[in-house]
Amino acid sequence: ELIADGHHVHPGAMQLLLQVKGAQGVCLVSDAAPLAGLEDGTYTWEGYNVTIGGGTCRLPDGILAGAYSLLDEDLRTLLRSIPGMDPAQAVRCASEVPARSIGLAHRKGRLAAGCDADLVVLDRDWQVECTMVGGEVVWERDNSGIMR
């Protein structure tokens, strides 16, 4: 498993992991805290004061308290951080490998007949355009760039 948010694991360690295991052996995960995506500030979560800032969630002593980024941001970070990273292999780390790791590769994590058609559509900049569950759009970004 790899949290590729640029804070949990150094890019050099990410690259080494991919060289050793190959994309088929690396499962991209998020570890996103419930506070992920909130504006900078201090919040209470599970009885702890957690500060959001600099793209991280931290306890008062500076220790990471989960991740601030969601999986799409981690995918973009992985692509930016690893020179020559094949986009298809990066997507594989975020789709097929996680499905296989939990025993659902027969119906999730890939585009194939008989699979569930749970999809995330990304634009050229790897930003989420829409998400689909069972082939039905459940969320889409509107033309103004505002998510709805």
SS3 at position 12: helix
Cα 6 to Cα 14: distance, rounded to the nearest angstrom: 9
| DSSP bridge pairs for 67 | 32, 56
- Active-site annotation holds for 118: no
Cα 43 to Cα 58: distance, rounded to the nearest angstrom: 10
Q: Name the DSSP letter for residue 39.
A: P
Angle between helices 71-81 and 87-94 (to 10 degrees): 150
The residue from 31, 72, 116, 118 that is catalytic is 31
- Residue 97 in tokens: 């490998």
- Residue 135 in tokens: 């082939």
- Residue 126 in tokens: 């790897």
Do 50 and 42 meet the contact criterion of CB atoms below 8 Å apart?
Answer: yes
Residues belonging to the active site? 31
